[in-house]
Amino acid sequence: MVSAKSSPPDEQLVDAALSGDDQAFAELASRHKSRVFGVASRFARDAAELEDICQDVFVQAYFKLRQYRRDSPFEHWLLRITTHKCYDYLRKRRRSGSVISVDAMLESGYEPSAPQAPAPHPDLERLHAALAQLSPKERLVITLLELEERSVQEIADLTGWSAGNVKVRAFRARAALRKLMENKK
Amino acid sequence: MNEEDQDRQLDALFAQARSLRPDTSAAEFAFETRLLARLRAREETTSTQGLWAMVSWRLLPFFAVCVVGLTLWQSEIDSETDDAATIAGLNNPVAADLWSN
């Protein structure tokens, strides 16, 4: 078992987890959960969905730990999984038809994304409702670019899309957001 | 409102949204414990399924031999039944008459 006091590097914890030490993996989760929760909270609708996304991220990381090639920090690898999981949830939501119009969302007292969100501001509510109307790809790109302040190259690395593709999607997402916000006025 | 103004407004809203990151500390509480519980549950399911899959693959040659054996036995029975029917038919004068005609 790995001692928490010595705070070994991530790679050492990965080795320990691979040799069957679940506490080492728990330590990895403890170290990186804030980043994962932070990103996922931009996409989750409520606390239950946030928990589901984060658990899915770490469960996948656990079972695919052997695929971590150590050519980049463990956190990057974990954030790539997080990005893909968030995208999967957005797609699942879109497929299940649970995307409703901006008006309907605001009338029903729509609560932007995650649990314990700060006091709602009308304009911010409008932004979140409009973001929820975008396609999963557009929503993912614009959220990572504008809310998480990731560069185009970073988004390309996280999603596996080309930088050009990311730029095009960001441009389209912005245009769609402008239109949605304008319609809501 | 023109496109530039809309962009400026959007940028301001994004900046506001960035500064108001949702507080996830309550959701993060004891996350590792829940995660480990789920991993254990999943591993148990996976190991049961894995054991069943391994057993079924190992038993595949046995099942194959059984199928081949049953097929051969069935064809043997069929040929014996055909012979008996022919003999029975030839000993029957009506059938033999029909046969010769």
User: Tens of pLDDT along chain A (185 residues)?
Assistant: 444 456 889 999 999 999 999 999 999 999 999 999 999 999 998 999 999 999 999 999 999 999 998 889 999 999 999 999 999 999 998 887 765 554 554 454 444 444 445 556 788 888 999 999 999 999 999 999 999 999 999 999 999 999 999 999 999 999 999 999 887 66
Q: Can you give the residue ranges of every domain in chain A?
A: 1-98, 101-185
Tokens of B97: 């008459």
Q: How many residues in chain B?
A: 101
Q: How far apart are CA A173 and CA A40, in angstroms?
A: 19
Closest listed residue to residue B35, CA positions, set A9, A184, A166, A78: A78
Q: Quick check: B78 contacting A, CB < 8 Å?
A: no
Q: Quick check: B13 contacting A, CB < 8 Å?
A: yes
The pLDDT, as a whole number, for residue B90 is 63
| Residues B19-59 pLDDT 10s | 888 889 999 999 999 999 999 888 777 777 777 777 778 88
Mutation site, B28, B38, B40, B45, interface A, largest A CB count within 10 A: B28
Q: Given A26, A38, A128, which is nearest B36 (Cβ)?
A: A26
- Cβ-defined contact of A41 to B21 (cutoff 8 Å): yes
**DSSP 3-state assignment of B75?**
helix
- Cβ-defined contact of B24 to A55 (cutoff 8 Å): no
Contact predicate A41/A28, CB 8 Å: no
Give the helix/strand (H/E) hosting B92.
none
A101-185: CATH, from 1.20.1540.10, 1.10.10.10, 1.10.510.10, 3.40.830.10: 1.10.10.10
The pLDDT, as a whole number, for residue A106 is 46
Exposure class string for A142-171: b at 16+ Cβ within 10 A, else e: bbbbbbbebebebbbbbbebeeebbbebbe
The pLDDT, as a whole number, for residue B55 is 79
| Residues B75-87 pLDDT 10s | 888 877 777 667 6
Q: Can you give the residue ranges of every domain in chain B?
A: 27-58, 60-101
Taking domain A1-98, whether its CATH number is 1.10.1740.10 is answered by: yes
- Cβ-defined contact of B20 to A118 (cutoff 8 Å): yes
Please give the ipTM for the structure prediction: 0.77
The pLDDT, as a whole number, for residue A6 is 63
Q: How far apart are CA B69 and CA B61, in angstroms?
A: 12
Give A110's Cβ-side CA count (13 Å radius).
Answer: 26
Q: How far apart are CA A155 and CA A166, in angstroms?
A: 7
B93/B26: higher pLDDT: B26
Give the helix/strand (H/E) hosting A113.
none
Contact predicate A62/B57, CB 8 Å: no
Residue A82, amino acid? T
